[in-house]
Copies of this chain bind each other. A is one copy, B any other.
Amino acid sequence: MGRTKLEIKKIEDKARRQTTFTKRRQGLYKKAGELATKCGAQVAVIAFSNAGNVFAYGHPAVNTVLRRYEAATGGGGGGSRAVREEIESKYRESVAKLEAERRVEEILGRAAAAAEGGGGRPLWSVEVEKLGVDELEKLRATMEDMKRRLAAHDGGIAAAEADSGDDRDIPAV
C-alpha cells in the first residue's frame, strides 16, 4: 500500500521500522475503532514495539475488553462458572462508567506515542482541558501510580525485552 510493494518480512533498518510501526499502529487502531462502530463490537488492540514499549487501544476501553475476555475464556482454564458469572455481572454494571476511561486512554495513548518517539511532549503535558470531572479523577490516579513507580526507580520492564535500546527508558502508560 505504498509507492513500492514491500514483502511482509521484518524491516531491518531501525528508522524505517520505527516509522512503519507508528503508522501501522495508528492504522490498526483506526480499523479497530471502525469495526467497533460499524458492527457494535467491543475491540481491544495491544502492541509491544520491538524496543518493548507498550501501546493499547480499546472500545469502550482496553480494560473492559480484557476483563470480559478473561470472563469469556475462563481466565486461563481454572475459573468456575460462578466466578465467570460474577466477573461478567461486574462488567455489565460498569460499562457506562468506563466510557470516561476510554477518553482518558485516548489521550494517554497520544502521550505514549510521543514518548515512543522520544522527541514528544512529556506525559503531563496532556490536553487535560478536554476532560470532565470523572475523567480528571482517573487521570490523577494514573499519574499518582506512575509517580510511585518512577520513585521506586521502576523503569526496567520495557527495557528488559529491548534488542536495541533505542526507545525511551520509561514505558508508555
Identify the A interface with B (CB < 8 A): 6, 8-11, 17, 20-21, 24-25, 27-28, 31-32, 34-35, 37-50, 54, 56, 63, 65-66, 68-69, 71-74, 76-77, 81, 84-85, 88, 92, 141, 145, 149, 152, 154, 156-158, 160-161, 163, 171, 173
B48, A65: Cβ atoms closer than 8 Å: yes
B21, A39: Cβ atoms closer than 8 Å: yes
Q: How many copies does the complex hold?
A: 2
Q: Which of B24, B35, B40 contacts A39 (CB 8 A)?
A: B24
Q: Which of B72, B84, B157 contacts A88 (CB 8 A)?
A: B157
A69, B46: Cβ atoms closer than 8 Å: yes
In the complex, chain B residues whose CB is within 8 Å of the CB of A92:
160-161
In the complex, chain B residues whose CB is within 8 Å of the CB of A85:
156-157
B38, A17: Cβ atoms closer than 8 Å: yes
A161 to chain B minimum Cβ distance, whole angstroms, is 8
A35, B28: Cβ atoms closer than 8 Å: yes
A19 to chain B minimum Cβ distance, whole angstroms, is 10
In the complex, chain B residues whose CB is within 8 Å of the CB of A68:
48, 54
Given contacts A11-B39, A28-B45, 13 further A-B contacts (CB under 8 A): A8-B38, A10-B38, A21-B35, A24-B38, A24-B39, A28-B28, A28-B32, A46-B66, A48-B68, A54-B68, A63-B76, A66-B66, A92-B160
